Structure 1
Amino acid sequence: MAQNTPRFPGTMKRLHKLRPSVLYRFLSLELMRTLPRRSEFGLMLAGALVGVAAGLSVSAMTYVTRTMHALIFGLEPDERLSGATVDDRILLLAAPIAGGMLLGVLLFVLARWRKRPLVDPIEANALHGGRLSLTDSLIVAVQNIVSNGFGASVGLEAGYTQVASGIASKFGSKLKLRRADMRILVGCGAAGAIAAAFNAPLTGAFYAFELIIGAYTIASLTPVVVSALIANLVARLLAASDAGIDVGSIGSVVPADYVPALLLGIVCGGVGILLMQAVAFVEETARKSSIPGYVRPAIGGTIVGLLAMISPQVLSGGHGALHVNLETDVSMAGLLVLFLLKATASAVSIGSGFRGGLFFASLFMGALLGKLFAFAAPFIGHAALAPASYAVVGMSSLAVAVIGGPLTMTFLALEITGDFPMTVLVLAAVITSSFIVRTLFGYSFATWRFHLRGETIRSAHDVGWIRNLTVDKLMRADVRTAAADMSVKDFRAKFPIGSTQRVILVDENGKYAGIVLVPDVHGNLVEGENEGASIRSFARHRNDILLPTMNAKQAVALFDETESEALAVVSDMIGQKVIGLLTESHTLRRYSEELDRNRREISGEL
């Protein structure tokens, strides 16, 4: 009898009253919400749906920007902006200026409508458990489309990943996913976006693992790879002609080729650092000037337009220019001039406020560096690689210096060339480049910008749980207090031995005045002696306090610095009203518990 009784009789009664169509829809929604939380199969299905959305988003953004290029610059349908011949020099100058003015209007409106900073997928996964505003993501996409569509020297990859990750985060919120699953789903969005953009599923998957999720686990493998595969399939069905990068024929690799490849990796590492610092210099110069933020894109557009009058190949991300320079022989002087123009245009575009990334720009500039290096390679040992091979090594090495992700760029080389010996050569070069950047600089382009903003993020590894574990969530609010001018005799009477371990002293204004250990007061006095003295003389840690906004890591560091077992928590540094007490032992225990829980979430044990 008991087994046949419904567990939730009220709910069951309401469900029986629903029409079959409504009941079916209700049960479908409940299944969609519970399945991803309870099984890897459900998370894989969610990743597949995100992959479809990513493929559609990439195709839509690509179509819009290429249509804008055709309308603004008068291109043929199959032409790429940076690879086309535009004879109208005035148009080359005017288009980026117009784009800068339009973007300035958008920035002016946003400054009054949306005050909070826009969060990207790396920051969302590192600090917010994958929570990403879809509205903010669409705003970033629109800014990226305007910037690229009018010819600013930025790629669309930032917009691709932002929109796809924003859709994934919104979908995860509707499914009420756990923190770890939400981070994986955001990684699925980014993986699908990069896979669809480059016709490279492995590249997209490892982009998510290395740059968005921050770790590779068995639990995240299936949904991320499925998302990348489906997104690429959707994008190719919609626009087969936009597939990947064609580097043409490459030569065979011999052991002697590793020496120049490693040297090229070192060069690319150094150039990547200079490029990131150049962008930061332009941004800092613009910030220190009296020029309003919404005016800066127009000024940046003017500079980009002037550079485009010298060579239109500096415009947009550089897809067309990359293929032009891979397919034709260019002099050393021509390659060097084009590299300097593109580097300047990219730094000015991003530094002046145009929205976009350096992903494809770094690939293009790396290919130019590789072809430049090919002129000197014959004088280094007995290497005899084709210039296209050095271009592949250069594009992967410079991209890893700027973007990060050694395996991401290695798999990109594999999917571009289909040549395993060439991929191993690229792996050696990108590891060298990555080592140079991490040793001498310590940041990728995204994390360097976080650093300039005051954040300490070095990767997408989840550190948000540490920041959420704050002192106000750990402290005890039921603390014993006493007046700092109380006599020792009165204190002993009010707080007999065994009544409590610690008492916090406050002055006449309620301000923190120190901590007293009750055993010290009772153990260090002889009955009748010094009983009229103030209890203030027993106070410890008068200047050592915790604030409620501090996180557990900061609290542990302060315990270690002050060599204290407990510290008072005060409201703020000025008023210092006592609101609680926190012990070192409790902080370490809770910190360890959260650390272990986070480890189990990452490894898929939860």
Structure 2
Amino acid sequence: MRLRRLSPSVLYRFLSLELMRTLPRRSEFGLVLAGALVGVAAGLAVSVMTFITKTMHARIFRLEPGERLSGAAVDEKILLLASPVAGGILLGMLIFALARWRKRPLVDPIEANALHGGRLSLTDSLIVAGQNIISNGFGASVGLEAGYTQVASGIASKFGSKLKLRRSDMRILVGCGAAGAIAAAFNAPLTGAFYAFELIIGAYTIVSLTPVVVSALSANLVARLLATSDAGIDVGSVGTVLPADYVPAMLLGALCGVVGILLMQSVAFVEETARKSPIPDFMRPALGGVIVGLLAIVSPQVLSGGHGALHVNLETDVTVIGLLGLFLLKAAASTISIGSGFRGGLFFASLLMGALLGKLFAFGAPYLGHATLAPSSYAVVGMSSLAVAVIGGPLTMTFLALEITGDFPMTALVLASVITSSFIVRTLFGYSFATWRFHLRGETIRSAHDVGWIRNLTVEKLMRADVRTVPADMPVQEFRKQFPVGSTQRVILVEENGKYAGIVLVPEVHGNLVEGQNSAAPVRSFAAHKNDVLLPTMNARQAVGFFDQTESEALAVVEDLIGQKVIGLLTESHTLRRYSEELDRNRREVSGEL
């Protein structure tokens, strides 16, 4: 009756919103449609951010139309020095304001999908994007890819919340946002799609394939309609790949793996040094801007993400000293920029440094045996290999090489190299740049694979709160009267002050005493696991490990380790059953069975 009283326009709008909300939950087509809309939004976001930063570069550094900052010859030294400092001051003011306004940490797409079921604050994402624009726009040596993926994923998460998507579908939609952002940024839909699978969703499934690819294609189409792409990488002729070329390529991959580890540890070292220093957080970007500005006076190619510098160094012949010098300057500038508080990532910086490393390697490749590849080919191999060492995602970087060269033999060579690089990093280090930063914060996640459900399955949710407790000094005779055989399986003992004293098995108390003998002895003599307790904040996996370690079938749950006030009891069998149920449910969600 209520629907009949509504006007036709209001009724149509209501039904459209209701259909949009229910369709993604009830059919795969609805999720694909949502992915396409997210892709359109991602393409728009990338285009807007790119336009803003290009305009800032042109106005601040007085560039000619069509010039890229890192590829331009900026003659005014004062601009090179003052611009990063000004950006650092502006960013510092924003950091100072955020410290008072928003005290919670900003969550990125990988952390959101790993721990929070894809829940990501759009406001926080816009803040990150704004910080990234300020950092890059004023010349700090960081790329925009972090901002692209953050804001696109934030839009996707907000959209998914409005649609009330399930946890697994929400994670896919956040992956769609990231896929669209990378596809639009690099004019590379396959790269964007596999970036989402490997780094944001953490798994490839048939269910996620279509929406993610559709999002990447939609975003790329929107970005190309709004502006012609100059983000592509033209490497020219890469030459003919022969079987003998695989050995030097794999050696280059191993070298890039080691360099990637050193680069990530360098960023961590600068961040830790800055944190231990007496310099306030909001002043660090300005100080970092001074150092970046001084490096830019030596070579303006260290500024911004490095798109222009990559084109210059791929298209022209550069000496060994020139390549090595620029590599060290760019590594220092990127490390200082991120370590001092500028917001951004190492995606494109790692591509530039990898290309420089590849061209350097080309000078020594003939001495390693038969090597016929052109320097630009080694640049592509190095570019992908260093990027996979820092960012992760072997297939992502392999498809990037495919989409920028269009050469399948070259792609196979890159695949061998990136696998070598990835293996070196996983074996010697174990982290990508993003997960390494999580590790420094105390997080244990290694990828975007969904582990949030495990953390949510806590001992507090699994335990029984209606536990039987008795004083530990209760005589055995009284205990036997109060708890006859069959009344209960276990009883928890407590001290006079309520502190945990152990667990006793009722059958054991009855089975090991002769009637009337030692009846006055305290029941604490039968106590087991006096020092083994669970905390309510432990998750199911930790509890299972503790059961195995203590060789117990049940343990008491205490409020904290100091007071040890008993609040519940948890058995190993119940924990294993609930853990297995949740694990199976998660598996079915990922495979699309739910």
TM-score normalized by the length of structure 2: 0.99
TM-superposition CA deviations, 1:524-563 (whole Å, max 9, x none): 1111111111111111111111111100011011111111
Q: Secondary structure at the match of 1:308?
A: helix
The separation in 2 between residues aligned to 1:535 and 1:27, in whole angstroms, is: 68
Partner of residue 113, structure 1: 101
Structure 1 distance, partners of 2:281, 2:460, is 37
Contact (CA 8 Å) 1:268, 1:401: kept in 2 or not?
yes
Partner of 2:25: 37
In structure 2, list runs of 5 or more residues that go unmatched. none
Q: Within the alignment, does 1:285 sit opposite 2:273 as a pair?
A: yes
Rounded Cα–Cα distance in structure 2 between residues aligned with 1:256 and 1:552: 51
- Tell me how far 1:243 sits from its aligned partner: 4.3
Residue 469 of structure 2, aligned match among 481, 500, 505: 481
Q: Could you tell me how far 1:338 is from its partner in structure 2?
A: 0.4
**Range with bigger deviation, 298-307 or 370-379:** 370-379
Q: Structure 2 CA distance, aligned partners of 1:564 and 1:275?
A: 46
Secondary structure of residue in 2 paired with 1:605? coil
Is 1:238 aligned with 2:229?
Answer: no
Tell me the amino acid that sits aligned with residue 384 of structure 1. T
User: Is 1:520 equivalent to 2:518 in the alignment?
Assistant: no
Tell me the residue number matched to 1:372: 360
Q: In structure 2, what is the Cα distance between the partners aligned to 1:491 and 1:20? A: 75
1:163 maps to 2:151: yes
Report the equivalent of 1:140: 128
Give, in angstroms, the shift of residue 15 of structure 1. Answer: 2.1
Q: Distance in 2 between matches of 1:203 and 1:273?
A: 23
Aligned partners of 1:581 and 1:77: how far apart in 2? 71
Contact 2:465 2:569 in 1 (8 A): yes
Equivalent residue letter for 1:569: V
Choose from 189, 206, 212 the match for 1:218: 206
Which residue in 2 is equivalent to 1:4? none
For 1:361, the equivalent position in structure 2 comes to 349
1:352 aligns with 2:340: yes
Does 1:308 find its partner at 2:296?
yes
Written as runs of structure 1 = structure 2, the 5 A alignment for 1:129-278 is: 129-278=117-266
1:532 maps to which of 511, 516, 520: 520
Amino acid at match of 1:292: P
| Equivalent residue in structure 2 for 1:51, among 39, 43, 53 | 39
Paired residue type of 2:162: K
Task: Show structure 1 runs of 5+ residues with no match.
Answer: 1-12
Specify the alignment match of 1:420 in structure 2: 408
The answer to whether the 8 A contact 1:568-1:582 is kept is yes
2:459–2:535 contact (8 Å) kept in structure 1: yes
Deviation at 1:386, TM superposition (A): 0.9
Runs of 4+ in 1 over 4 A off after TM superposition: none
SS at match of 2:518: coil
1:257-295 per-residue CA deviation (whole Å, 9 max, x = no partner) reads: 111111111111111111111101101111111111111
Cα deviation, 1:129-177, whole Å, max 9, x if unaligned, reads 1110111100100000000000000000000000000000010011111
The equivalences for 1:39-118 within 5 A come to 39-118=27-106
State whether structure 2 residue 494 is matched by structure 1 residue 506: yes
State the aligned residue count: 594
Aligned-pair CA distance for 1:571: 1.1
Contact (CA 8 Å) 2:187, 2:229: kept in 1 or not? Answer: no
SS of the residue corresponding to residue 291 of structure 1 reads: coil
User: Where do 1:304-453 residues align within 5 Å?
Assistant: 304-453=292-441
> CA–CA distance in 1 between the matches of 2:562 and 2:87?
48
Aligned equivalents of 1:575, 1:381: Cα separation in 2: 69
C-alpha deviation, 1:17, in angstroms: 2.4
Deviations 1:103-146 (A, max 9, x none): 11111111111111111000101111111011110010000000
SS at match of 1:455: coil
Aligned equivalents of 1:200 and 1:62: distance in 2? 16
Aligned equivalent of 1:3 = none
* 1:495 equivalent among 450, 466, 483: 483
SS at match of 1:244: coil
Q: Is the 8 A contact 1:199 1:232 kept in 2?
A: yes
Identity %: 86
In the TM superposition, residue 23 of structure 1 has moved relative to its aligned partner by 1.6
CA–CA separation in structure 1 for the residues paired with 2:89 and 2:526: 67
Partner SS, residue 294 of structure 1: helix
Letter in 1 for 2:567: I
2:588 is matched with which residue? 600
Q: Any idea what SS the aligned residue of 1:541 has?
A: coil
1:297 corresponds in structure 2 to 285
The amino acid that maps onto 2:78 is: I
Partner of 1:14: 2
Q: Deviations over 1:186-234 (max 9, x none)?
A: 0000000000000000000000000000000000000000000000000
Give the drift of 1:314. 0.2
The one-letter code of the counterpart of 1:527 is: E
Residues 551-598 of structure 1 show CA distances to partners (whole Å, capped at 9, x for unaligned) of 001101111111110011111112221111100000000000000000
Taking the aligned partners of 2:525 and 2:4, their CA distance within structure 1 comes to 73
Partner of 1:454: 442
Quote the Cα distance in structure 2 between the aligned partners of 1:319 and 1:95.
19
Q: Which amino acid aligns with 2:233?
A: I
Amino acid at match of 1:232: N
Residues 51 and 228 in structure 1, CA contact (< 8 A), matched pair in contact too: yes
- Give the aligned residue type for 1:599: R
CA distance in 2 between counterparts of 1:549 and 1:447 reads 23
Distance 1:256 1:502 in 2: 70
Is the CA contact 2:231–2:307 (under 8 Å) kept in the aligned structure 1? no
| Cα drift, residue 411 of structure 1 | 0.2
| Shift, 1:603, TM fit | 0.5
Whether the 8 Å CA contact 1:236–1:243 is kept in 2: the answer is: no
The answer to whether the Cα contact below 8 Å between 2:502 and 2:528 also exists between their aligned partners in 1 is yes
Q: Deviations over 1:293-317 (max 9, x none)?
A: 1111111100000000000000000
The secondary structure found in structure 1 opposite 2:282 is: coil
**Which amino acid letter does the alignment assign opposite residue 296 of structure 1?**
R
Deviates more, 1:144-153 or 1:513-522: 513-522
Aligned to 1:7: none
Cα distance between partner residues in 2 of 1:30 and 1:571: 45
TM-score computed with the length of structure 1 as normaliser = 0.97
Query: Do 1:219 and 1:603's aligned partners in 2 also have CA atoms closer than 8 Å?
Result: yes
Query: Is contact 2:42–2:181 with CA below 8 Å preserved after alignment?
Result: yes
Q: How far is 1:508 from its partner?
A: 1.5
Moved more, 571-580 or 544-553: 571-580
Q: Distance in 2 between matches of 1:163 and 1:495?
A: 61
Instruction: Name the aligned partner's letter for residue 86 of structure 2.
Output: A
- TM-aligned CA deviation for residue 439 of structure 1: 0.8
What's the CA shift for 1:494? Answer: 0.9
Please tell me the root mean square deviation across aligned C-alpha atoms, in Å: 0.8
Q: Judge conservation of contact 2:92–2:283 (CA < 8 Å) in 1.
A: yes
The amino acid that maps onto 2:455 is: R
- Partner of 1:569, secondary structure, is strand
